[in-house]
Chain A
């Protein structure tokens, strides 16, 4: 690995019309680590992912992958993406094996005809996520956790160095969650860099090495244990943010409070939150 961080985001600002989605967000993720990207709905997680993937161009700042501009990293097949469940058409007529094979397309010729090595890589990836027996099923016929594993298998088949997963644990049963966590840990120990956006704070200590707390900018980035302290959680989940205080009364914020409260009882009385209020 080179000295440059696997994922580097520098001073990224993104605006949708009048809405400021990211405000000078910066994040450096070193290779071989799993980082949880934590934030409430609307904190800019998806926008940050889109910036890293290069699907949107920020107003200010830039992103780099393994020291390369996003376009170059994509062309080299360095980066893989696991979409949120609601972004996928599960009735699409493709089999699990065909989905995993899509991970190989970047390495194939103009008609994307697969060779023996590609088929081997696909079978290997299917075996690693324990979906070999279900490989001929239509993708929508899998359970929530199996669907996620199919997409992780696609990343493995792609041989990408950098994996981005958007809310991989939403609608996933505990057993599948454990399987996915184990898989990601294995991938990280073999040098892959993993960035996982999630609002499931419970899974975090087992899954991730680091956590990055996002609220339009990165509030904190460091070891999980240091990130999951009541004041920091309260800050990331709006409780201390003056501009968003109005939103606190509404449902999304109530949800966030519930989540923060699960880890940090009575976050409202945390010193920092009170100080800011």
Chain B
């Protein structure tokens, strides 16, 4: 079988075609957002919010509201609770994050278990990429477009905020608002990626692409290209692997992303661990020769 068929054969099935399109959309928009998250040190916040949206999504399902709305409410609620606990007690932020997101996640699990529905718990927790309907695809497309448009229109403000919030404040911007925009987008993209890899692994799509791109370039604008391209390539590869090996699709999507990060971590032209070691050895060799 030739390599092109490895890609084309799954596409004969409509559900596989939808899965690949959905995955590509989610991967691209999560990767964009991840560029800011890894630079502001908000990766843990991404972890927290992406888990904490679960009860919001379940409640939205129960009352028939858009999932994104429930996710936004619980995303901001989790951040408010984390900040509140940190500011009004001696508990440190990492502990506050750990308490709030696990508790809200647990609330989500309990809500699912008592909610009569066809939705399988494991689909939300581990993703259900092969079961994406046209309606799901439409919702994901709309949310992803909103997130991408906001990110690209405000990318310079967000980058300034990430780099130097004091200067942002000094020239009359509102740093709190920019932070809130980023948090809102984490909640939105969590809903987008939930279907692909499940609520547990969403955070991987919000961290790995940005971190990988960061090791490849010194220019933020290039990160915004590298991260989505890499993430889409890895995610599509993961879905295809899951088709051919009949293994967990969400798991493989993240596994391929992690593998790509490992390769870049070792071999990135300037930042790679091995690359730098080889360059050091070559330099020492030249010095010996010079003597």
> Does A94 lie within 8 Å of B159, measured CB to CB?
yes
Q: List 12 A-B contacts (CB under 8 A).
A: A53-B169, A77-B172, A80-B170, A81-B167, A88-B164, A92-B162, A92-B220, A93-B218, A95-B218, A102-B167, A112-B157, A113-B156
Chain A residue nearest in CB terms to B159: A94
> Does A81 lie within 8 Å of B218, measured CB to CB?
no
Residue B103 at the A interface, CB < 8 A? Answer: no
Q: Which of A147-171 contact B (CB under 8 A)?
A: 154, 158
Contact with B along A135-155 (1 / 0, CB 8 A): 000100000000000000010
Residue B153 at the A interface, CB < 8 A? Answer: yes
Label chain B's interface by main secondary structure. Answer: helix
Cβ of B252 to closest chain A Cβ, rounded Å: 30
- Which residues of B are in contact with A by a Cβ distance under 8 Å? 39, 153-157, 159-160, 162-164, 166-167, 169-173, 214, 217-220, 222-223
When A and B form their complex, which 4 residue pairs have the shortest distance between CB atoms, in order from nearest? A106-B171, A112-B156, A75-B172, A138-B218
Residue A105 at the B interface, CB < 8 A? Answer: yes
Partner of B220, one of A80, A81, A93, A105: A93
Partner of A105, one of B157, B166, B222: B157
Partner of A93, one of B156, B167, B219: B219
Residue A119 at the B interface, CB < 8 A? Answer: no
Cβ of A107 to closest chain B Cβ, rounded Å: 9
Cβ of A277 to closest chain B Cβ, rounded Å: 37
Residue A55 at the B interface, CB < 8 A? Answer: yes
Residues of B within 8 A of A76 (CB): 172
Residue A133 at the B interface, CB < 8 A? Answer: no
Cβ of A108 to closest chain B Cβ, rounded Å: 8
Cβ of B211 to closest chain A Cβ, rounded Å: 12
> Does A74 lie within 8 Å of B167, measured CB to CB?
no
Q: Once bound together, how far apart are the Cα atoms of A138 and B220, in whole Å? A: 10
A93-B217, A112-B157 known; A154-B167 Cβ under 8 A: yes
Q: How extensive is the interface on chain A, given as a class?
A: 20 to 34
Residues of A within 8 A of B219 (CB): 93-95, 138
Residue A110 at the B interface, CB < 8 A? Answer: yes
A93-B217, A93-B218, A111-B153 known; A81-B170 Cβ under 8 A: yes
Q: Once bound together, how far apart are the Cα atoms of A89 and B42, in whole Å? A: 14
Cβ of B212 to closest chain A Cβ, rounded Å: 13
Chain A residue nearest in CB terms to B172: A75
> Does B166 lie within 8 Å of A102, measured CB to CB?
no
Contact with B along A77-110 (1 / 0, CB 8 A): 1011101000111001111001100110110001
Partner of B156, one of A77, A79, A88, A105: A105
Q: Once bound together, how far apart are the Cα atoms of A54 and B173, in whole Å? A: 12
Q: Which of A50-83 contact B (CB under 8 A)?
A: 53-55, 71, 74-77, 79-81, 83
Q: Once bound together, how far apart are the Cα atoms of A76 and B76, in whole Å? A: 31
Q: Once bound together, how far apart are the Cα atoms of A99 and B168, in whole Å? A: 12
Q: Once bound together, how far apart are the Cα atoms of A110 and B173, in whole Å? A: 11
Q: Once bound together, how far apart are the Cα atoms of A88 and B218, in whole Å? A: 16
Cβ of B184 to closest chain A Cβ, rounded Å: 18
Cβ of B65 to closest chain A Cβ, rounded Å: 30
> Does B159 lie within 8 Å of A77, measured CB to CB?
no
Residues of A within 8 A of B172 (CB): 71, 74-77, 106
> Does A92 lie within 8 Å of B163, measured CB to CB?
yes
A92-B39, A93-B39 known; A105-B173 Cβ under 8 A: yes
Instruction: Among B162, B166, B222, find the residue whose CB has the most chain A CB atoms closer than 10 A.
Output: B166
Chain A residue nearest in CB terms to B222: A93
Residues of B within 8 A of A77 (CB): 171-172
Instruction: Among A74, A93, A98, A154, find the residue whose CB has the most chain B CB atoms closer than 10 A.
Output: A93
Q: Once bound together, how far apart are the Cα atoms of A79 and B169, in whole Å? A: 10
A105-B156, A106-B172 known; A94-B220 Cβ under 8 A: yes
> Does B154 lie within 8 Å of A111, measured CB to CB?
yes
> Does A74 lie within 8 Å of B223, measured CB to CB?
no
> Does A81 lie within 8 Å of B166, measured CB to CB?
yes
Chain B residue nearest in CB terms to A106: B171
Chain B residue nearest in CB terms to A54: B169
> Does B169 lie within 8 Å of A74, measured CB to CB?
yes
Cβ of A204 to closest chain B Cβ, rounded Å: 25
